[in-house]
């Protein structure tokens, strides 16, 4: 590589397996861009080789810094003489063992002081006991992004609150930090703002952090962080207090695996629109939170709060949340009820084992998900939102009764997508068919006791996508429903189904995607002399056949498939012939797996199908491309 003396740009950023720099790179002194430099343990590139790269600009990631054995090597890198290098990542090894030298790493980081034009700094796996004084120095006034990651031996932070352009600050994995105090902000005068440009602030995985102090005792300053938009505090379980700061521009707040006391320290969040609470110990109700929170809240998510009993026991709280559009409640096992929830567009209730009823008055709800709430009463109804509901997902509802849920006299004219998963209590659909005239997508999956599909399915003229998967109680005799005529995609797998000749697939003139899996166990051929009932529609673009153990031949059923572009054949051990050659020439992809007889005919340069399939752009046999030299002889 040393002959490329005029090389200007070398981008090796996405090379996570690269352990050493290319040989001879130190002589490429005309380089302007070098995205990554890996310090060699012995004999290879050293960090002091950077001294001759005087034209460098843009960004660089300097990795394996634990191999810098003396400070002079770092000094000789002369980062401070590279004014156009504005983004720097400094990374040590993630292994903190006895080979690490805290004093040496501090001195090395100090010697790697960059030019004051720096705009972005990331320090990761640093092992020094503290940071050098240049980090946070007011001379670095161009800094917009700072990230400290897994600096596990560092117990204090430097002054960052006065950096005028700092927008993004992330601190995570600092195991020895217990207190963050005034040293983090610097001297603040009355009415002065901290972090004047900060928009995004993240604290994560600071496991020993206990206190976040405000200003010095006795200070009378009114302090705010004026432009903070997003604030994340995650997995800081020992944190018990936050400073009494004001966040007038905060729009998004995420608090995860922290004490409830942290929430009680939040004040004046007048612009908050997104709130996420995860694993908050001791939280029984969000009442005390919402008494301090604004009217502008739009999205609220609460997850894995074991002590939560109710969201808001007072209707007055709900009435204040006039902008609330989306509510998501997950893994709250003691939650008993959700009272009136206001005018919302989306409600997601997931794994709330004690919840007995849905909230009242969800008349504007467009997207509703109910997942694994076993205590929900059978008489639960969705009649309140019959005219607004567009998407409905139901999973693991033991007592599901669709007749009660949908009601008998309501027409769900807006409902376009219906998903029903793993509902063993579901045995049948409402008598007379689904009251969903504009349904476009229907998926029924894992309903082991379902005995029949809905009545009058042929009247679902808008239905484009039908998926019936693992409903083993559907038998051929009970599966006497006509298929909706305007389907574009049809999937039937591990379920009882009409005999192939009675499905009349050839009448589905819009069908483009067909998947048949583990059905028709006795099927030998997609043909029955000249019976057109076995024909597949000419509109078909993609066909997938899986686990048809007795299928031997495709032939007649494929004679009209002039539009077929994708053919996938899996676990058809007796299948030994592909469709006619004319159809194979049009394919864009062919996938064959666990079809030993067919595989033999497709072997590279040996099988009689090879001259035909070799021209198909994408061919896989047993999940390996035929164009991979190692895939087959």
For residue 129, give the CATH number of its domain.
3.80.10
The phi and psi torsions of 264 (rounded to 5 degrees) equal: -70, -15
Residue 262 resides in a domain: no
Give the residue, 578 or 206, on which the prediction is more confident: 206
Number of independent structural domains in the chain: 2
In the prediction, which pLDDT does 479 show?
44
Mode of pairing for the β-strands spanning 417-421 and 391-395: parallel
Question: What are 444's two structure tokens?
Answer: 């029924």
Structural domain contains residue 605: yes
Reduced to 3 states, what is the DSSP secondary structure of residue 473? coil
Residue 222 to residues 216, 219, 487: CA-CA distances in angstroms? 13, 9, 64
Q: Is 267 part of a structural domain of the chain?
A: no
At 519 the pLDDT is 86
Q: How far apart are CA 431 and CA 426, in angstroms?
A: 13
pLDDT band at 126 (very low <50, low <70, confident <90, very high): very high
The dihedrals phi and psi of 445, each to the nearest 5 degrees, come to: -135, 125
Three-state SS at 341: coil
Query: Of residues 448 and 5, which shows the higher confidence score?
Result: 448
> Could you report the per-residue pLDDT of 273-296, keeping only the tens digit for each?
999 999 998 888 887 666 566 678
Domain presence at residue 15? yes
**pLDDT-wise least confident of 113-122, 211-220, 447-456, 578-587:** 211-220
Going through 386-505 in order, the beta strands assigned E by DSSP cover: 391-395, 417-421, 441-445, 465-471, 489-495
Q: How confident is the model over 513-527, as a mean pLDDT? A: 86
301 inside domain: no
529, 571, 527, 524: which is closest to 550 by C-alpha?
524
Per-residue model confidence (pLDDT) at position 237: 94
- The pLDDT confidence band at residue 335, using thresholds 50, 70 and 90, is very high
| Confidence at residue 521, expressed as pLDDT on a 0 to 100 scale | 82
Among 355, 456, 433, 440, residue whose Cα is nearest residue 392: 440
Range in 42-46, 102-106, 204-208, 615-619 with the lowest mean pLDDT: 42-46
Q: Which of 7-21, 388-402, 403-417, 534-548 has the lowest mean pLDDT?
A: 7-21
- Rounded Cα–Cα distance for residues 71 and 107 (Å): 6
Contact predicate 181/158, CB 8 Å:
no
Domain end position, chosen among 126, 154, 182: 154
Q: 43-78: per-residue pLDDT in tens?
A: 777 898 888 888 889 999 999 999 998 999 999 999
Tokens 């010095």 correspond to what residue?
216
Give CA angle at 502 (499, 508), nearest 5°.
Answer: 120
User: What is the pLDDT at residue 501?
Assistant: 65
- Local confidence band at 478 (pLDDT 50, 70, 90 cut-offs): very low
Is residue 181 in some structural domain?
A: no
Q: How far is CA 592 from CA 13, 546, 575, 609, 619, in A?
A: 36, 10, 11, 13, 8
Burial of 611 (0-12, 13-18, 19+ CB in 10 A): exposed
Give the tokens for residue 610.
Answer: 């090879």
Torsion angle, alpha carbons of 572, 576, 582, 584, to 10:
50
pLDDT band at 222 (very low <50, low <70, confident <90, very high): low
Domain boundary among 114, 134, 154: 154
For residue 371, what pLDDT is reported? 96
For 604-615, what is each residue's pLDDT tens digit?
Answer: 888 888 888 988
| pLDDT band, residue 422 (cuts 50/70/90) | very high
- The larger pLDDT score, comparing residue 140 to residue 629, is at 140
Report pLDDT for 384.
81
Ranges 117-131, 350-364, 471-485, most confident:
117-131
Rounded Cα distance between 546 and 572, Å, is 7
Give the number of other Cβ atoms within 10 Å of residue 605's Cβ. 9
The band of 533, judged by pLDDT with boundaries at 50, 70 and 90, is: low
> Among residues of the chain, what percentage have pLDDT more than 90?
52
**Helix, strand, coil abundance in the chain, percent, nearest 5:** 15, 25, 65
DSSP structural state of residue 241: B
Q: What range does the domain containing 588 cover?
A: 499-633
Residue 597, in any domain of the structure: yes
Whether the predicted pLDDT of 190 surpasses 90: no
Is residue 594 over pLDDT 90? yes
Q: How far apart are CA 615 and CA 630, in angstroms?
A: 19
Average of per-residue pLDDT values in the chain: 87
pLDDT, residue 633, reads 46
| Residue 183 within a domain | no
Report which of 200, 205, 194 is spatially closest to residue 235, judged by C-alpha positions. 205
User: How many whole angstroms separate alpha carbon 102 and alpha carbon 233?
Assistant: 28
Of the residues 119, 154, 189, the one at which a domain ends: 154
């Amino acid at each position: 590589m040393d002959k490329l003396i005029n090389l200007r740009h070398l981008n090796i950023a996405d090379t996570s397996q690269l352990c050493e720099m290319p040989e001879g790179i130190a002589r490429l002194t005309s380089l302007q861009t070098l995205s990554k430099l890996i310090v060699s343990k012995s004999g290879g590139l050293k960090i002091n080789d950077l001294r001759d790269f005087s034209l460098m600009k843009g960004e660089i990631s300097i990795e394996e810094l634990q191999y810098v054995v003396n400070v002079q090597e770092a000094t000789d890198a002369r980062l401070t003489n590279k004014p156009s290098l504005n983004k720097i990542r400094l990374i040590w090894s993630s292994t903190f063992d006895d080979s690490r030298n805290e004093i040496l790493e501090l001195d090395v980081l100090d010697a790697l002081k960059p030019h004051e034009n720096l705009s972005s700094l990331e320090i990761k796996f640093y092992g020094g006991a503290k940071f050098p004084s240049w980090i946070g120095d007011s001379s670095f006034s161009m800094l917009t992004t700072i990230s400290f990651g897994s600096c596990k031996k560092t117990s204090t932070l430097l002054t960052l609150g006065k950096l005028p352009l700092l927008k993004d600050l992330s601190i995570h994995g600092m195991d020895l930090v217990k207190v963050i105090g005034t040293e983090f902000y610097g001297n603040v005068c009355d009415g002065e703002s901290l972090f004047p440009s900060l928009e995004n602030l993240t604290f994560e995985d600071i496991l020993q952090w206990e206190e976040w102090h405000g200003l010095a005792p006795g200070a009378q300053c009114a302090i705010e962080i004026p432009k903070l938009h997003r604030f994340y505090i995650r997995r800081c379980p020992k944190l018990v207090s936050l400073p009494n700061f004001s966040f007038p521009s905060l729009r998004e707040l995420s608090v995860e695996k922290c004490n409830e006391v942290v929430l009680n320290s939040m004040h004046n969040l007048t612009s908050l629109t997104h709130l996420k609470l995860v694993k908050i110990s001791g939280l029984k109700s969000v009442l005390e939170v919402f008494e301090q929170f604004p009217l502008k809240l739009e999205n609220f998510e609460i997850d894995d709060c074991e002590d939560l009993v109710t969201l808001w026991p007072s209707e007055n709280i709900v009435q204040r949340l006039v902008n609330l559009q989306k509510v998501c409640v997950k893994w709250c096992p003691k939650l008993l009820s959700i009272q009136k929830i206001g005018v919302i567009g989306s409600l997601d209730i997931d794994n709330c084992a004690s919840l007995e009823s849905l909230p009242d008055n969800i008349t504007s709800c467009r997207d509703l998900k109910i997942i694994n709430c076993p205590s929900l009463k059978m008489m639960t109804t969705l009649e309140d939102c019959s005219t607004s509901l567009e998407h409905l997902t139901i999973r693991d509802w033991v007592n599901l009764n669709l007749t009660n849920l949908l009601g008998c006299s309501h027409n769900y004219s807006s409902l376009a997508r219906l998903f029903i998963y793993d509902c063993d209590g579901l045995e049948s659909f409402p008598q007379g068919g689904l009251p969903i005239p504009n349904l476009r997508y229907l998926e029924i999956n894992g309903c082991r006791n379902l005995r029949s599909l809905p009545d009058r399915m042929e009247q679902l003229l808008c239905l484009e996508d039908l998926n019936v998967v693992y409903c083993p109680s559907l038998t051929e005799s009970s599966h006497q429903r006509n298929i909706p005529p305007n389907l574009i995609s049809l999937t039937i797998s591990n379920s009882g189904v009409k005999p192939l000749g009675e499905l009349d697939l050839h009448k589905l003139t819009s069908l483009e995607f067909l998947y048949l899996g583990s059905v028709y166990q006795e099927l030998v051929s997609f043909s029955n002399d000249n019976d057109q009932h076995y024909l597949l529609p000419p509109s078909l673009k993609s066909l997938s056949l899986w686990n048809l153990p007795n299928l031997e031949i495709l032939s007649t059923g494929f004679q009209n498939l002039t539009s077929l572009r994708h053919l996938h054949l899996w676990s058809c051990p007796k299948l030994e012939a592909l469709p006619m050659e004319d159809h194979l020439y049009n394919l864009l992809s062919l996938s064959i797996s666990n079809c030993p007889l067919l595989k033999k005919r497709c072997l590279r340069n040996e099988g009689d199908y090879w001259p035909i399939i070799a021209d198909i752009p994408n061919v896989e046999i047993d999940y390996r491309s035929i164009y991979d030299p190692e895939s087959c002889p």
